[in-house]
Amino acid sequence: MGKPLCATARTLNGFDLSGALVPVSAIEAGGPPRDGIPAIDQPRFVQAARAGLADADRILGIERNGIARAYPVRILNWHEIVNDRLGDEPIAVTYCPLCGTGIAFDARVGAQAASFGVSGLLYNSDVLLYDRRTESLWSQILGKAIAGPLKGTALASVPISHTSWAAWRVRHPRTEVLSTQTGFQRDYDRDPYDGYDKVPRLMFDVQHRDQRLPLKAWVMGLVIAGQARAYPFEGLARRVDAQGRWHDQLGGQRIRIHYDRQARSAEAYDASGRLLPTITAFWFAWVAFHPGTDLPKDLLK
């Protein structure tokens, strides 16, 4: 486990933290060095029938440019980043096991496609990515560079489904699936974070805590027009209708939440039925980055 930087430290794992947008003392070394957790840069895919996944296995799913792909969490636990392309679009698929957060980004920074690696650093217990061209550090949950030459630059989020393999396969029977042939020797049948979701403690500190929900309660987080709201899975399970729907308004927009009890997954759609970028996360992670977040009262009853 890494130790917090002292307030005067300006480099860690070889990254320049001068002028960081977050407190330098809150950036921690997670243990592995830069690229000690290797990103997947040349992903291979197999068809659904050859995926070798159990129905309950967790996946991150993307449907974009006529392509459906599933990225098993049991692979992402060991790599945290997949630099991929869906059609002509570069996509960075990211996962932080400590926060439970799977987030995808359009990997274009200006006119160039960025390639990302794992810095070995954390902020609010969340992975800090780095882009290999400028070595800027990027917060996964913020979706923004917090240090380096690109500091302040934001990435565009790509809608992603954080769900079970069974649920994704039903919706996308022709899906491609990230192969375990990653080019690295890892035991993808072993979860190095097994049980972490069940213990009421954190391995790394966060800048803000909130007692309204348990630390590791699962929520779906959404930000519209600067307004942040978290939807607790337990509340959704009680309140959705027979079709798994729950309606809300956020940031001046009407939205529809869909919660799948069996898959334990939530998604949000706008009034036109467009899937919105959301973040499925442990409560502690969402609220650490969004300390003013709302919680719908109806979902707390």
Predicted confidence band of residue 4 (pLDDT cuts 50, 70, 90)? very low
Other residues' Cβ atoms within 10 Å of the Cβ of residue 200: 8
d(CA 161, CA 67): 14
3-state secondary structure of 150: coil
Give the whole-angstrom CA distance, residue 120 versus residue 135. Answer: 13
Task: Give the HSE-up count for residue 286: Cα atoms under 13 Å, Cβ half-sphere.
Answer: 31
pLDDT score, position 156: 96
pLDDT above 90 for 17: yes
Q: pLDDT tens digits for 156-193? A: 999 999 999 999 999 999 999 999 999 999 999 999 99
- For the chain, give every domain's residue range: 18-171, 216-299
Those residues with Cβ within 8 angstroms of residue 110's Cβ, 6 or more apart along the chain or in another chain: none
Check pLDDT > 60 for residue 111: yes
Question: Which residues 6+ apart lie within 8 Å of 91 measured at CB?
Answer: 62, 64, 84, 85, 104, 105, 106, 107, 158
5 pLDDT band, cuts 50/70/90, is: very low
Residue with tokens 């679009």: 89
C-alpha angle 158-160-165 in degrees, rounded to nearest 5: 155
How far is Cα 144 from Cα 150, in angstroms, rounded to an integer? 9
Lowest mean pLDDT among 41-45, 109-113, 194-198, 276-280: 109-113
* Predicted TM-score of the model (pTM): 0.95
C-alpha distances in Å from residue 131, one per residue of 12, 43, 114, 291:
16, 18, 6, 27
Tell me which amino acid residue 82 is. V
* 18-171 to CATH, choices 2.30.30, 1.20.120, 2.102.10, 3.30.1330: 2.102.10
- Over the stretch 42-60, which tens digit does the pLDDT of each residue have? 999 999 999 999 999 999 9
